[in-house]
Amino acid sequence: MNMIVSPASPATPNGTTRPQVSIVIVGHVDHGKSTLVGRLLHETGSLPDGKLDMLKAVSARRGMPFEWSFLLDALQTERDQGITIDTTQIRFRTNSRDIVLIDAPGHAEFLRNMITGASQADGAVLIIDALEGVRDQTRRHGYLLHLLGVKQVAVVVNKMDRVDFSADRFKAISDEISAHLSGLGVKPTALIPISARDGDGVADLTDRIGWYKGPTVVQALDSLEPARPLEALALRLPVQAIYKFDDRRIVAGRIESGSLQAGDEIVIMPAGKIARIKTVESWPVTQVSGRQGAGRSVGITLDRELFIERGDIVAHANSVPRETRRLRARIFWLHDKPLAKGDQLLVRCGPKESRATVVAIEKAVDPGELENRENKAIGRNHVGEIDISLSNPIATDPYTENPRTGRLVIEVSGRIAGGGLVLSVDAGQRAVPVDIVPVESALRSDERSARYQHNGAVVWFTGLPASGKSTLAKVLERRLFTNGGSPILLDGDTLRAGLNSDLGFSAADRSENIRRLAEVATHLARNGHIAIVAAVSPAREDRATARRIADTAFREIHVATPAEICEERDPKGHYRKARAGALASFTGIGNDYEAPQAAELVIDTSTRTVAEAADEIEQMLKATGVLFDEAVDLAANI
């Protein structure tokens, strides 16, 4: 990073670290931004040797009185000539702080620049001309600070020399701007009368503002709180990729906040899978030891094989980000075509991307014409608040809790079209479908029934692990097929390997697992197949959901084999592992299986053979109209 003026060193002479605070100076054009910056640099001793003399000479040559704003103009020229490239940040020091002044110039592209620059500001100085008072631009900038979540705002009333240092004038302006800002939820940290040109109130309280008892601008800056260091926040490691170049399976990404080290127990969101960090890998030295903090690009290996994908977030178990399909964001819009309700977008939250739909536009504002609020569309360079529904669940944090994970960008046709801050997250809420028109099958259900000799159905086997669900399901599948039917087995574990691989074993994930099984099964049933589902599905509520989805096609079979016998069988060794404490969230041990109260059929596999059980199932299916007795009748319909 190139410095224009004295590069700030992070350490004081005695070796302690000075807090660093980023600020942005905003205000109406000609209210004295550059003059204040020039004066601040001078008063804090931040100008390079000779700079002041050079400026005096420039003023003399032009036959003009000396102006502090020439300082920034001179820097501007340097920038234009490409000598100093990265001048978005000017540094100076107060007694206890290193201040990084973020330069947000350029009127035409103001919003884009201000957002990119000032989105990282910890605080702001809002400048108002004492003579002109609060202007549109003043209010607009106040709004933008609110938009960006900048809460610490020092207000300076400049050019007090032009109003004879009138305390009344100062009070009137102070009251007006305070009211405006507090309406936006921003409380000024200080209200200071100054004359930037003469220096009153900047570093010293002069006699001319003898009636004012508050802090100077420098003191106000000195008391700004730096943003909480990212390392002090909860761990967030968005996964960029999984690498397997050798026998290691490395989860790679940048630590956006918090820190981690080998041995930490972690949760992978949104799936909620739990693992432990085995190693932190690096090159040329492998396995770095010690804690790795925010900002580092790292690679970790885990103590177990989990399905993890790009965009997942690694967090510590005690503070995980929220999983959601719905969120509200405050955004700025840069695309030519206005953003409207119902628009389809691509939303990126770190490396995670999801298709999304704008469910509602709560507020749309042209920051230039704040009065004209509307809620149909957000135009180019305008700002607003929107509700978005996402087609994939994502893990995120509100911006106020984590500025790194709480922001997003919006892509349209492969190009970034806007961005913003996550205001709130509706945890667990389902996406609302917008304008979805299901496509109907080309076939009528009776055409299928005639061929298969049965109606479509969802045959749902529920019961304890090892109660015999899969065995019965497979025998039923074979029988139906032999008779010319179209059975399809949907085994819970099999679907977890693919369709449901993003789900873990939390209560919410188990519910979602069942919901998806039910949706897939119902789709098959509507198309004339018999979907045979074998899933423990321990929660009564979840099975009720499945029944609701499949409606009249649903047939529930409770495989009610006694628990002792299930455990004795234990074909997959799950009971053994669970008893040894090595299998968390295992249904069967403990009392978390909620038996059905009104199943279509109850079968105890300890008291009858598989063939007998299969006969009973067939009879039930015939009795409830799924299987046909008489083939001939329907064949006539073809």
Partner 1 sequence: MDHLDQLEAQSIYIFREAFARLKKIALLWSLGKDSNVMIWLARKAFFGKMPFPALHVDTGKKFPEMYRFRDYYGKEWDLDLRVEPCPPIDAVDPTLPPAARSAARKTEGLKMALGKYGFDGLIAGIRRDEEATRAKERVFSPRGLEGNWDVRDQPPEFWDHFNASPPQGAHLRIHPILHWTEADIWAYTKRENIPIIPLYLSKDGKRYRSLGDQDITNPVASTASTIDEILIELEQTKVPERSGRALDHETEDAFERLRVAGYL
Question: Which residues touch 20 (CB under 8 Å, ≥6 apart)?
Answer: 8, 10, 97, 98, 99, 100, 226
Which is closer to partner 1, CB of 18 or CB of 515? 18
| Least distance between partner 1 and beta carbon 597 (Å) | 50
| Least distance between partner 1 and beta carbon 400 (Å) | 17
| Least distance between partner 1 and beta carbon 71 (Å) | 21
Which is closer to partner 1, CB of 284 or CB of 590? 284
Which is closer to partner 1, CB of 403 or CB of 456? 403
Which ranges of 125-280 does DSSP label H, i.e. alpha helix? Answer: 136-148, 167-183, 217-222
Which is closer to partner 1, CB of 121 or CB of 128? 121
Which is closer to partner 1, CB of 304 or CB of 415? 415
| Least distance between partner 1 and beta carbon 255 (Å) | 9
Question: Which residues touch 271 (CB under 8 Å, ≥6 apart)?
Answer: 307, 312, 502, 503, 504, 509
Which strands, in side-by-side order, build the sheet including 188-193?
A: 89-93, 98-102, 20-27, 123-129, 152-158, 188-193
Reply yes or no: is the peptide bond before residue 48 cis, omega within 30 of 0. no
CB atoms within 10 A of CB 637: 10
User: 559: part of which helix (H) or strand (E)?
Assistant: strand 554-559
Which is closer to partner 1, CB of 86 or CB of 541? 86
Which is closer to partner 1, CB of 416 or CB of 507? 416
| Least distance between partner 1 and beta carbon 284 (Å) | 7
| Least distance between partner 1 and beta carbon 119 (Å) | 7
Site residues (vs partner 1, CB under 8 A): 1-2, 82, 85-86, 112, 115-116, 119, 240-241, 243, 245-246, 248, 250, 252-254, 281-284, 286, 293, 295-297, 299, 310, 334, 348, 351, 407, 409, 411, 413-417, 419
| Least distance between partner 1 and beta carbon 90 (Å) | 17
| Least distance between partner 1 and beta carbon 277 (Å) | 16
Residue 38, helix vs strand vs coil: helix
Which is closer to partner 1, CB of 160 or CB of 383? 383
**Kind of pairing, strands 457-462 and 554-559?**
parallel
| Structure token digits, residue 536 | 């423990």
Question: Which residues touch 261 (CB under 8 Å, ≥6 apart)?
Answer: 277, 280, 289, 290, 291, 292
Nearest one of 122, 115, 121 to 144, comparing CA atoms: 115
Could you list the beta-strand ranges (E) of 309-349.
313-316, 322-333, 339-340, 344-349
Nearest one of 308, 307, 303, 299 to 250, comparing CA atoms: 299
Which is closer to partner 1, CB of 130 or CB of 408? 408
Residue 265, helix vs strand vs coil: strand
Q: How far apart are CA 445 and CA 449, in angstroms?
A: 6
| Structure token digits, residue 220 | 């106000």
Name the residue with tokens 């009610």: 560
Phi-psi region of 244 (alpha: psi -120 to 50; beta: other; left: phi over 0): beta
Which is closer to partner 1, CB of 86 or CB of 362? 86
Reply yes or no: is the peptide bond before residue 433 cis, omega within 30 of 0. no
Q: How far apart are CA 205 and CA 219, in angstroms?
A: 11
Which is closer to partner 1, CB of 334 or CB of 518? 334
| Least distance between partner 1 and beta carbon 235 (Å) | 16
Q: How far apart are CA 330 and CA 365, in angstroms?
A: 11
| Least distance between partner 1 and beta carbon 568 (Å) | 48
Q: 309: burial class by Cβ within 10 Å (0-12, 13-18, 19+)?
A: middle
Which is closer to partner 1, CB of 164 or CB of 283? 283
| Least distance between partner 1 and beta carbon 304 (Å) | 20
Name the residue with tokens 């000779």: 50
| CA atoms in the 13 A half-sphere facing the CB of 82 | 0
Which is closer to partner 1, CB of 413 or CB of 597? 413
| Least distance between partner 1 and beta carbon 368 (Å) | 19
Q: Are 328 and 423 in contact (CB under 8 A)?
A: yes
Which is closer to partner 1, CB of 61 or CB of 107? 107
Which is closer to partner 1, CB of 411 or CB of 426? 411
| Structure token digits, residue 309 | 């994908």
| Structure token digits, residue 305 | 């094989």
Q: How far apart are CA 333 and CA 335, in angstroms?
A: 6
| Least distance between partner 1 and beta carbon 267 (Å) | 22
| Least distance between partner 1 and beta carbon 423 (Å) | 17
Q: How far apart are CA 305 and CA 559, in angstroms?
A: 32
| Least distance between partner 1 and beta carbon 253 (Å) | 8
- State the first-to-last Cα distance of the chain, in angstroms, to the nearest integer: 78
